[in-house]
Amino acid sequence: MKIKLFTLACFLVASSAVKAQTTYQWKTASAGGYTYKFVTNDPTKSRFYTLKNGLTVILSQNNKEPNITYKMAVRAGSNTDPRTNTGLAHYLEHLLFKGTDKFGTLNYAKEKPLLDKIEALYETYNKTTDPAKRKEIYKEIDKVSGEASEYSIANEYDKMMKSIGSNSTNAHTSVEETVYEEDLPSNAIDKFLSLQAERFRAPVFRIFHTELEAVYEEKNIGMDNDGRKMYEKMLYSLFPTHNYGQQTTIGTIEHLKNPSLVEIRKYYNKYYVPNNMALIMSGDINYDDLIKKIDKNFSYMVSKPLALYNPAPEKPLTQIQKVDIYGPSAESLYVAYRGFAQNTRQSLLLDLIGSILANGKAGLMDININKQQKMLRAGAGYNSMKDYGVFILSGSPKAGQSLEEAQKLLLEQVDLLKKGEFDESLIKATVANIKLAELQAYDNNDVRANATMDAFIQNRGTEWDKTLAATDAMAKVTKKEIVDFANQFFVNNYVSILKHKGEDKSILKVEKPAITAVKTNANEVSPFTKNIISTPVKPIAPKFLDYKKDLNFGKAGIADVITVQNTENGIFRMSYRFDMGSYNYKLLPYASQYLTFLSTDKYSA
């Protein structure tokens, strides 16, 4: 049978430029009446605006699909929880889905007195210690909450987002951030911005006690989660002073049982201010049109003086700490070291070392442990945060292997690193893989938005140039620098978390109070929501590929060649297509799987 070969290739004709070091420098420009900053050669094409009220706006244009990723990031999380009200930032995150005086309510004038009464009852409840009296107060909270629910509309925010076309309404709270996330079709920007601006204008904390039930359940599930217990114990041991270790995002049982709507409101008023927030959008946008619309919708926000969490420096760790944890899941372990602040040279080296130890293909652990099946699983990685980082060796022992034996294998790989017993070419290969992964990832709107969001949370975005330059900086790292640094860093001051299979007798669950189901009014619609849903949008016009203009056709021997120049980044992709498949020969799909394992007289697989 004659086989016809087709190839499809995308390439950038600039081989010398690809090898050269890229320069990332901050520049300032103006367009559409707004001044913005940007970094040269930024693959995300991000523009950093600061509105008159201090709100940071970060926009990244990617017109490949008619979709937009949105994130509203607040530089406040469990680190900024009051010591007397841990878990408060997370409570607030849940309440930002409950609406305002315009949506989520049938009649706010009648609802508000009841909400005020609930708030006052919670304050009394928190100050009461007698169990019987507390029970009576909560009965009253439950009763009044039922009365208030006659006027509330549950999940009206979600109803509007679905009508707009969102597929991923979400939010999360972490140590340094609270982030509200959406995606939307690009033709729904106007109604979307109207909704988001209203959402943060004057949130109403309604349907609260049923939300408590959800948070209690989340806490109880977390206490049964062995991975979560390991991570929290690790942070507690690494950070005896910093809130990274001393306050969990979910909060303590005692604080969860005594929530304060007054304190939650204070927290919102203190941290949810424009000079502490960033609105981030990545996708099918027009920079000049969008920044005007954002400014118009969010200009009501007023900046306030702000004092963020300013921790005392941690003292050096001087000894090995061993922590034993028990739970029903399979045995596993962490060996964790305290790292350094974000965008420091030390953090860059630890990020690179994590990939040299384990990258899924040719890292020291991949070759010496995973491929030889000496453990069930072995890995390493570095998590960089604003003030410190955490370097983790992780693994799971195989059957018949103790946790101590598995830990010894992990530490032996670190010893190889410290002795320099690895090929220097591994550094270049690792950096090349990281660079490729970055370029591929930046095609994704969510990755773009997450990257700039992290920069805002960690340094207000002022070091975005350093973030972009990090991989090029890695390429300049020598084997000697890694070996010297590894010998200084990897000493006997780590935390060993050994998770044994067995019963955890220390678990105390959050006791849920008696809660009567509230009225949801799910079929009701507020006037604000009616307006959002009924506002027409312009249909998205499809864009079709023109095969005659957009593709180049040629020949290479017997092969037909189709090429497209990649003008977006330095990625080269090539694929081969044969005009035969499993219908021609049933064993062909199985034979093709062996291609990745084949070598030549010059190259290994």
Sheet strands side by side (includes 377-384): 321-327, 495-501, 332-338, 389-396, 377-384
Domains of the chain with CATH codes: 1-31+541-605 (no CATH), 67-303 (3.30.830.10), 321-501 (3.30.830.10)
Of 406-420, 516-530, 558-572, the range with the lowest mean pLDDT is: 558-572
Closest CA to 356 of 408, 454, 409, 432: 432
3-state secondary structure (DSSP) of residue 418: helix
* Residue whose token pair is 């509203």: 72
Least confident of 33-42, 195-204, 314-323, 576-585: 576-585
- The pLDDT tens digits for 238-295 are 999 999 999 999 888 888 888 899 999 999 999 999 999 999 999 999 999 999 999 9
Measured in whole angstroms, the distance separating CA 484 from the mean position of its chain's CA atoms is 32
Whole-angstrom distance, CA of residue 394 vs CA of residue 379: 5
Q: What is the pLDDT of residue 21?
A: 63
| ∠ CA 499-502-504, rounded to 5° | 85
What pLDDT is attached to residue 20? Answer: 53
Q: Which of 355, 403, 395, 398 is nearest to 379 (CA)?
A: 395
* 73 CB neighbour count, 10 Å cutoff: 24
Strand order through the sheet with 559-565: 552-556, 559-565, 5-11, 573-578
Cα dihedral 181/185/188/189 (nearest 10): 50
pLDDT value at position 51? 98
CA separation for the pair 599, 333 (Å, rounded): 37
DSSP 8-class letter at 21: P
Sequence-separated (6 or more) residues with CB below 8 Å from residue 143: 516
Is pTM, for the whole model, over 0.85?
A: yes
Q: Centre a 10 Å sphere on the Cβ of residue 406 and count the other Cβ atoms it contains.
A: 25
In this structure, how many other beta carbons lie within 10 angstroms of the beta carbon of residue 489? 19
Q: Is 438 helix (H, G, I), strand (E, B) or coil?
A: helix
3 state SS of 200: helix
Total Cβ atoms within 10 A of residue 571: 16
In percent, the amount of the chain with pLDDT more than 70 equals: 96
Kindly give, in sequence order, each residue whose CB lies less than 8 Å from that of residue 185, ignoring residues fewer than 6 positions away: 66, 67, 68, 164, 165, 540
Confidence grade of residue 6 (pLDDT, cut at 50, 70, 90): very low
Instruction: State how far the Cα of 351 lies from the Cα of 437, in Å rounded to an integer.
Output: 14
Q: How many helices (H) and strands (E) does the chain have?
A: 22, 17
User: Looking at residues 24-39, what average pLDDT do you find?
Assistant: 97
